[in-house]
Chain A
Amino acid sequence: MGFKEVLESKKFVVTAEIGPMKGTDVQETLEDAELIKGKVDAINVTDLQSSVMRLGSMAVCHLLKDHGIDPIFQMTCRDRNRLALQSDLLSAWVLGIRNVLALTGDYPTVGDHPQAMPVFDLDSVILLKVISRLNEGFDMAGNQLKGATDFFSGAVVNPGADTEAALEMQIIKMEKKIEAGARFFQTQGIFDLELFEKFMKRIEGFKAPVIGGVILLKSAGMARFMNKNVAGVFVPEPLIKEMEEAKDKVKTSIEIAARLIKGMKDICQGVHIMAIGWEKKIPMVLKEVGL
């Protein structure tokens, strides 16, 4: 069963995330993927994450597909105008990619080519509409396609937005995204299940399933760094302490992730594991949860 079918059958899905390398050496990426193959329903491939130039999402998605893994093609509006975005969507479809995740994208200045021209010709809501349109067999300009796409498209939402205004806007934007064609949501990393549950209550009745994000903590320092620098991620003090006092950091990290995932089973319809370099540890996390 592909990712879409698992989600539509209302089963609890598991997705993971891979960030392509800087360069052409894909061996490690494929090893990581091979290791989690069969244990996850799909793997997201990031699109020049944090605005750092690297191998593209489409190529890696295609390689994953060849290895029997259902990829989720992440696509940001940062680097391509509407011509390139649409063309890349057609290309991805032809290469066998079936799932797309539409994102705004970070500003270029956060990455390693801060001189780059920021494009943002479209935004994530418009991009979702465009995907829906391509699925209907038309491009943005209304021209008919010879051969349509049939993407399963999703978007992101950030339940940890740090002000009430930001959270309200997240919810409004989520509604707009659903209207534009988003059929699933993946969230930013969640560390506070109570807050997440409250968020899920607020969006009760929304027609798209939510897949909760889980980030593998590597150290207390990493947690503090994220609290300071990553919008929408907040690691509560007790968890930071737990990591700080851990003798075996890997073991504790896996325990924390497993706890979060178990908690999410009653709250949302899946988990999205962001291992950030610890991809090889994903099977251990899933074993701990019993998935």
Chain B
Amino acid sequence: MMIVFEQKPFEEILGYLINDKSIFILRCKGCARVNQANAESDLMDMKGRIEERGIGITGSAIKGLLCMKAKSVLEELSETIGNPTSLLIMACGLGVQSVAEATHKIVHPACNSFVDKEILELGKREYRCRTCGDCVLEFTGGICPLTVCSKGLLNGPCGGNSLGKCEVSREIDCGWVLIFERMKKLGRLKEFMSFLEPKDYRKIQKKKIS
């Protein structure tokens, strides 16, 4: 998952804590994507500012991979956690959700999650494969139109490309130009001309649907 997180404005966090007498703070040490160097100082800073406002802190901890290990982390901490009215989680949206799943206590998020910033700026091209359930790479030279084109177009480029760059940002290549050039080089323009059917979004849906 290419998720990064950044701390919410402090006043917003404080608003969440309005009914809390005491809290426990859990900071994700992170994964490969998260800046681990700041974990300690971020946590110290947060503790200081919260105490300043008269809210008690029963304890705090820094633990890695909260998104996957929340349950065991909470078990491990059961002795030290005390009896806070809530938990404040400094982690990405995945981390907060797993902690919430593993406890009956109120869980407050301290951070906003983003797709990796660089990628976000590169025209919202989240992931290279959206696991669409009906792969079309055969017709597109092994380059996924769903992710490499900013609009996820299936049947060729929009009119917005200019000098090979995308309408959404002139910093990034037009995905359809990449596909075309690859297919042309491969001598597969006939396949390039194929009509691609609309996607079945039940298979791509981000939310779980039953």
Which residues of A does B touch, CB under 8 Å? 82, 104-107, 109-110, 118, 120-126, 129, 140, 156, 158, 161-163, 165-166, 168-169, 172-173, 175-176, 179-180, 188, 231-232
Contacts and interface: CB of A to CB of B under 8 A. Distances in A.
Contacts of B199: 121
Interface of chain B, main secondary structure? loop
Interface in B133-172: 150-164, 167-168
A168 B177 CA distance: 10
Interface string B106-126: 000000000000000000100
Contacts of A125: 154-156, 195
A140 B198 CA distance: 10
A107 B193 CA distance: 24
A105 B155 CA distance: 14
A188 B199 CA distance: 29
A176 B156 contact: yes
Given A107-B168, A166-B161, A232-B159, A126 B154 contact: yes
Nearest to A156: B159
Interface of B: 124, 150-164, 167-168, 174, 176-177, 180-181, 184, 189, 192-193, 195, 197-199, 201
A118 B177 contact: no
B159 A231 contact: yes
24 contacts: A104-B159, A105-B158, A107-B160, A107-B167, A109-B168, A110-B167, A121-B199, A123-B151, A123-B155, A123-B156, A124-B158, A125-B155, A129-B195, A140-B198, A161-B161, A163-B177, A165-B164, A165-B180, A166-B164, A166-B174, A169-B176, A169-B180, A172-B156, A231-B159
Contacts of A232: 159, 162
B198 A188 contact: no
Contacts of B154: 123, 125-126
Contacts, number: 89
B155 A231 contact: no
B130 to A, nearest CB: 13
Contacts of B192: 172
Given A123-B154, A166-B157, A175 B193 contact: yes
Contact of B155 (A162, A166, A173): A173
B7 to A, nearest CB: 22
B195 A179 contact: yes
Given A107-B150, A169-B180, A172-B189, 18 more contacts: A104-B153, A106-B160, A107-B151, A107-B160, A118-B124, A121-B199, A121-B201, A123-B151, A125-B156, A126-B154, A162-B163, A169-B156, A175-B193, A176-B155, A176-B193, A188-B159, A231-B159, A231-B160
A207 to B, nearest CB: 16
Contacts of A156: 159
Given A125-B156, A156-B159, A169-B157, A231 B167 contact: yes
Contact of A123 (B153, B177, B193): B153
A163 B162 CA distance: 8
A197 B167 CA distance: 26
Given A104-B151, A107-B168, A121-B201, A176 B195 contact: yes
A184 B176 CA distance: 24
A156 B192 CA distance: 20
Nearest to A81: B201
A166 B164 CA distance: 7
A42 to B, nearest CB: 21
A120 B152 contact: yes
B157 A163 contact: no
B139 to A, nearest CB: 12
Contacts of A107: 150-151, 160, 167-168
Given A125-B195, A166-B164, A169-B176, A120 B151 contact: yes
B35 to A, nearest CB: 27
B123 to A, nearest CB: 8
B155 A126 contact: yes
A173 B184 CA distance: 15
A52 B63 CA distance: 46
A125 B168 CA distance: 20
A156 B158 CA distance: 10
Contacts of B160: 106-107, 231
